[in-house]
Each structure stands twice: as C-alpha cells, then as structure tokens.
Amino acid sequence: MWHKRTAELKAGCRYKRCTTVFLWLLCAHSPHLLLPTKSIMSSSIILITGGNTGIGYETVKALYTSSQPYTILMGSRSLEKADTAITQLKSEVPESKNEVVAVQIDIEDDESIEKAFKEVQEKWGRLEGLVNNAGAAFDAIMLKDPSPKGMRAAWDKAYSLNVTSTQVMTHTFAPLLIASSNPRLLFLTSGLASLETCAKGMDSKLASGPPPKGWPKPQSMASTAYRSSKTALNMMMLYWKKTLEVDGVKTFSISPGFLATGLGGVGPDVLRKVGAGDPGLGGALIRDVLEGKRDGDAGVVVSQNGVQPW
C-alpha cells in the first residue's frame, strides 16, 4: 500500500514541478502575468496535530513568524477551535509571509485520519514535517477513582492516545513524508519519560518523593500512566527512524521541557507556580528542529539543553 501511494505522490510532484516551470517560462515571456506569491512548491508543508492549543499552538506561531517560507497545517479535532486559534494567531502576529490552514483531524478516529490524509495529499502532495504533538495525561482519573476501574481507564486512555493513535497517524502519513526531498518526523515526548532520570531519582518538580511504608499507598500525582506512555513513544520513534531512514526521513523525539500548558489538567497557572516555563520555548525548539538546526541529533530525544538521556 505504501509503495503504491508513494509512487502516486512522486508522480504528482513531478507533474507539479513541470507545471511550475511552464508557468515561470510563460510569465517570463508575458510580463503582465504574475506567479503566485505563495507557491506550495517553495514553501515547506508542516502538519502539526493538536495545533490549536498549548505547545502545538506555540509551534504554529513559531513557524508563522519564521523568515523561512511555510504552509502550516494546524491539525485540530474541531475546525471551529482551529479557526478560533488562527484568528488569535493573526491578532498576535498581524503580518506574516507564511500561511496557516486548518485541518480537521482526530488521531483517535481512523476515518478522520484517512480523510485528513486525502485532503493533504490532494492539496499539497507531500509533507516536509509531521509533528506528532497531540497527546494528553489522564492520571487525574486515578485520583478521583483509585479503584482498578479508574486505574485501567487512565492507563488505557494514555496508551490509546499517546501511543496507538500516534502510531496509526504516522503510518498513514508516512507516504507524504517520503514524497518530500527533505522530510522530518517529530514525536513530542516528555522529560518524565527518561528511564535513566527516573532510575537516578531525579523526578519532576511535581513529584513528592517516595511514599511512606505500608499499604495502601496514599494517592499522588505521579503521572505514571502518562510517563510510561511517553517512554513507549520513544521506542516508537526509534522504530520509525529505522524504518524511514533509507527514505531520507530524519526522525526525532522532542522533549520540550517543563512548560505551563493545560496538559495535566491542573492548569498553566498552577504549573507556573512550581517553575514551569513559557510554552513558547517548546515552539521555538520544534521550529529549530524542523529548520535543520538539530539534524545532528536525529534519532535521539532532543531537549532545550542538548540530548535527553534514555
């Protein structure tokens, strides 16, 4: 299936290149004709899942303000929310040479993923970047319901969204990356996902240390389901690195740092009080990776300060 889709996409790209050359020659001999100022053949096409909020939104904003040419596809479960986010973006950044387009996509819905793939395939034919940003933490479910039922719900939801859905999303869109001459594939992970950091007891600022002796243990926001799902995501990244390296796809996990987003359900204000940074730092890091500034770190977990331990 991949081979068929990739062949079709490459053929489409060749057609578009021929069309571009023809239009250029036509305009050269007919000065009254002008080429489009925002040609999709000169812009990098970047799709960001969960792009209407949090680090996803900050990534859209970072690309929108970049001096490099981009067509930014803001993936969102709701087109209405994406349109609202785009309106906000344009109020914050009144002038930009880049373009942002809303794309409806729910990565937990296979039909939604396939529909979005066909839309991107038909309109652009390729992707220079896929940023797997959509994700969430569900550990708060266990605080409200510490029973096995609550535990199962929290862990199942974390793995369904952060791992399984991201895998399906990447598998579906891989042919569009292969159709590009300079593609990058990004997975948003977490500092909490580091096995080495956890083994050394260097937990997050939200951690309260080991629980007291005895059973049952008191409930705490240890984010065990979330961090485990992100560790699994790092293994998935390595799988995709190995799978797509021969096709020229550079693959990364991105650990944006402890930032004030709505991810954990506690709210940005609470996180700021315990030292969380501005989400814009995450957007800037992702932009740097997409623009090739961290290509030497392909295949590992990229962080603000270098490379995150496994």
- Hey, which residues are catalytic here? 190, 226, 230
Q: Work out the angle at residue 195's Cα, subtended by the Cα atoms of residues 191 and 197, and round it to the nearest 5 degrees.
A: 60
For residue 247, what is the DSSP state? G
Rounded Cα distance between 204 and 197, Å, is 10
A 10 A CB-CB count for 287 gives 24
Rounded Cα distance between 256 and 250, Å, is 18
Residues 112, 118: contact at Cβ < 8 Å?
A: no
Q: Give the containing element (helix H, strand E) for 18.
A: helix 2-29
109: which residues sit within 8 A by CB, 6+ positions away?
A: none
Q: Which residues pair with 163 in a beta bridge?
A: none
Q: Counting beta carbons within 10 angstroms of the beta carbon of residue 207, is it exposed (0 to 12), middle (13 to 18) or buried (19 or more)?
A: middle
How do the residues of the chain divide into helix, strand and coil, expressed in percent and rounded to 5? 50, 15, 35
